[in-house]
Amino acid sequence: MTLKDKWILITGASKGLGREMAILFAEAGGNLILTARTAELLEELKARVVAGGSECITVAGDLRDSSVLESVKSLCIERQIDVLVNNAGVVDITKLEDVSDERVDEVIELNLVIPIKLTKAVIEMFKTRKRGVIVNVNSAGGKKPVPDHTIYCASKYGFNGFAETLKLEIKGLGIRIISVCPGKMATELFNAAGRAMTPTHLSHPPKSPKAYSTCSKCRQDAHPRN
């Protein structure tokens, strides 16, 4: 699938892997809808994307806010997006007895509920067109349990189960679902969780489209077109 003139939504686009994907997709000719909580970083990224000749729309805000989520969903339909990248998420490294109920809600909503709602918003459109790509940036924690990551792993296992089940529903409709499950990466995600990683712990985000397609550190499960 060529990205030339295709519309792509990327959540969590202002930093880390989301930002790198936005740059690469724009370089490949894609037009972008970018969402994240940090408006200033989004606008800096938008300027870079537009300077390269691509169109770019930004939505700054927390996707847990219903008005922000509805705005993003509306843009997906208005621009007839071709690719949905569910990248936004949060890490929690806390023993179960120490995590607050509010934190449980936050992790489950950002890592599982929001991607489900965004996918639900576009799936009928994708089915009608018989094409579309959904990229779910999951985690190795969605494949293997990790101590002190109980709520995080629960959200990511749920995310994986959602994707695998949806693949069965859309089989034969020309829609691809790609689940990427990297380990710890050199982004700010773990810093925000209060557990900074050293270089020996980390996988660095690849810097080219080819690297994304061949990266041995990321397991990709793609439902083939048929």
Name the pTM for this structure.
Answer: 0.82
DSSP state of 112: I
- At 65, the amino acid letter reads D
DSSP state of 186: S
Active site residue 152: yes
| Among candidate residues 128, 136, 126, 98, the one with its CA nearest the CA of residue 219 | 136
Q: pLDDT tens digits for 79-135?
A: 999 999 999 999 999 999 999 999 999 999 999 999 999 999 999 999 999 999 999
Residues with Cβ within 8 Å of 179's Cβ and at least 6 positions away in sequence, in order, are 136, 138, 142, 160, 163, 164, 219, 220, 221
Q: In Å, what is the CA distance from 84 to each residue of 8, 54, 60, 146?
A: 6, 17, 17, 28
* Rounded average pLDDT per 10-residue block, the chain, 226 residues: 94 95 97 97 97 98 97 98 96 93 96 98 97 92 84 92 96 95 65 47 46 35 32
From the list 152, 157, 162, 212, the catalytic residue is 152
Domain regions of the chain by residue span: 7-222
8 Å CB contact between 57 and 32: yes
CATH superfamily of 7-222: NAD(P)-binding Rossmann-like Domain (3.40.50.720)
Residues with Cβ within 8 Å of 109's Cβ and at least 6 positions away in sequence, in order, are 64
> How many other CB atoms are found less than 10 A from the CB of residue 24?
18
What is the dihedral sign for C-alpha 19, 20, 25, 26? positive
Separation between Cα atoms, residue 149 and residue 90, nearest integer Å? 11
DSSP state of 203: B
The per-residue pLDDT for 222 is: 33
